[in-house]
Amino acid sequence: MLKVVVNSTPLIALNAVNQLSILEALYKKIIVPYGVYEEVFFKAPTNKKIDLSLFDYILIERVKNAYAKELLQTSLHKGEIEVILLAQEINADLCIIDDYLARKYASLFGLKVTGTIGVLLRAKENQLIKEIKPILNDLIKNGIYISQELYEHILTLANEN
């Protein structure tokens, strides 16, 4: 089974469009650092809160190396730092992160990275969803920014243009 560590933005985005179950369908289990759990449950606005502890396919784990967490105090958020550190600690196969800078840091640490859009493309490849376009439109309606250029590129990759 793949070890997949997920950051808050993909969780919030997929939950907003009722597609959180794609993560279970693709990966069976996902791992979320405690810092991400805090972000999506305790710190999120009421209408976007997600109690990840209610999902049996989501494992919430704490980062063991607190010292490294302090050293990595950069322009990244606590959850992003914990995703990178936890992924290293457990030798994860994949990190799901949307933030550009966090993705760059994760790549510098030798981690394989994808984002919400990569998850949706993989879901379509595996025939878990029929079309990406309606989901993209829902993401945009729910406040997730997708540039027009990226939107068109995604549809090209998904053979939906």
pLDDT digits (tens, 9 = 90+) for 25-38: 999 999 999 999 99
Q: Letter for the amino acid at 69? A: K
Question: What are the pLDDT digits (tens) for 105-152?
Answer: 899 989 999 999 999 999 999 999 999 999 999 999 999 999 999 999
Is residue 106 in a domain? yes
Domain that holds residue 30: 4-129
Is residue 64 in a domain? yes
Is pLDDT of 71 > 60?
no
Question: What are the pLDDT digits (tens) for 75-89?
Answer: 778 888 899 999 999
Is residue 142 in a domain? no
Residue 135 near residue 120, CB atoms below 8 Å: yes
Q: At what angle do helices 133-141 and 8-16 cross, to 10 degrees?
A: 100
Q: How many domains does the chain have?
A: 1
Phi, psi for 113 (deg, rounded to 5): -130, 145
Residue by residue, DSSP assigns 54-120 as G-TTEEEE--S-HHHHHHT-SSS-HHHHHHHHHHHHTT-SEEE---HHHHHHHHHTT--EE-HHHHH
Is residue 102 in a domain? yes
CA dihedral 79, 103, 26, 91 (to 10 degrees): -80
Is pLDDT of 69 > 70?
no
25, containing H or E segment: helix 21-27
Q: Which residues pair with 161 in a beta bridge?
A: none
Is residue 67 in a domain? yes
Is residue 124 in a domain? yes
Which CATH number covers residue 98? Answer: 3.40.50.1010
Phi, psi for 60 (deg, rounded to 5): -100, 120
Is residue 120 in a domain? yes
Is residue 150 in a domain? no
Query: What's the confidence (pLDDT) of residue 91?
Result: 95
